[in-house]
Amino acid sequence: MPSLTGRSVGITEERRALELARIVENLGGVPIVAPTISVEEAVDLAQIAELRQHLATGQVDWLVFQTGIGVRRLIAAVGPDEAPELVAQLARCQIAARGPKPRQALAEIGLRVHLAPSEATTAGLIASLAEVPLIGRSVAVQRIGDDNDILIDALRKQGADVFEFSLYRYGPPPDLAKVHALISRTLDGQLDALTFTSSPAVRGFFQSAESTDQARALASALNRQVVVAAVGPATAATLDAYGIRAQVMPPRFTMGAMMIELARALEGAPVIQEV
């Protein structure tokens, strides 16, 4: 088993930060936890009610889930008593899942995924859906932010009738001081590795750096002296948009696999010494 002994590893994830920190510790490393975004409750009850009406009357041909938390928030929004009925209604639709996280969440409630792009990105999802005849079809899409605008436009150009529903939104870091401390640590050469598990976490990190005019210096430091790990291609693509190359991306897009690959990548490299 590869080791992270003595390595300082930055963690930008919020929801499963403690789980990631335990993995780092179990591999011998020192986790530096600084979530760069928060996940805020933003279930649009009117949209969910409309979605359920469409489902009940068979007016949804395709459902597009983009995140695992979105699947779980939808089920939670209707409550335990009505969840079985909702799952049965969802099962009558064709389902597309952007990546492994929504696929796993759907599998947990017994739902089959009919379309999953080989590249787990918005572009990959658009390319896969482009092969599906959608003229006159009703497509319900889980909204996750700005990326949705590109997806929605593409679906409408294919002739689909698109309905969006919102379940949560990304907010500012829960502790901005920790993010700035992580940025300073990176700039000072006191970080061995930095991990990202979502595109919004990447954006949140650089937005925090931009607020103090440190974004350019941060990008330079990451490329020169830090091993950057991305959990999957969508996150790696967002890093690339900021000029950062993800040196580590696991073959299986899970946090545990990412940490194992990170430990392998760091084998033989000098350990950063605290000052």
Of 60-74, 97-111, 140-154, 247-261, the poorest mean pLDDT is in: 140-154
- pLDDT above 90: residue 253: no
Tell me the DSSP string of 163-213. EEEE-EEEES-S-HHHHHHHHHHHHTT--SEEEE-SHHHHHHHHHHHHTTT
- The answer to whether residues 70 and 39 touch, using CB atoms and an 8 Å cutoff, is no
What percent of the chain shows pLDDT beyond 90? 79
pLDDT on residue 141? 96
pLDDT on residue 274? 54
pLDDT on residue 101? 86
- pLDDT above 90: residue 204: yes
pLDDT on residue 15? 84
Measuring CA to CA, which residue among 246, 138, 227 is closest to residue 189? Answer: 227
Question: What would the pLDDT profile of 23-45 be if each residue is shown by its tens digit?
Answer: 999 999 999 999 999 988 888 88
Burial class (CB in 10 A: 0-12, 13-18, 19+), 160: buried
Question: What would the pLDDT profile of 171-191 be if each residue is shown by its tens digit?
Answer: 999 999 999 999 999 999 999
Q: How far apart are CA 255 and CA 245, in angstroms?
A: 18
The count of C-alpha atoms lying within 13 angstroms of the C-alpha of 261, restricted to the half-sphere facing its C-beta, is 21
The count of C-alpha atoms lying within 13 angstroms of the C-alpha of 58, restricted to the half-sphere facing its C-beta, is 0
Q: How far apart are CA 7 and CA 24, in angstroms?
A: 9
pLDDT on residue 254? 82
- pLDDT above 60: residue 275: no
- pLDDT above 70: residue 146: no
Q: What average pLDDT is seen over the chain?
A: 92
Q: Write out the H or E segment, with its range, that includes residue 41.
A: strand 38-41
204-233 mean pLDDT:
96
159-167 mean pLDDT:
94
Q: Domains of the chain, with CATH numbers?
A: 8-37+174-266 (3.40.50.10090), 40-170 (3.40.50.10090)
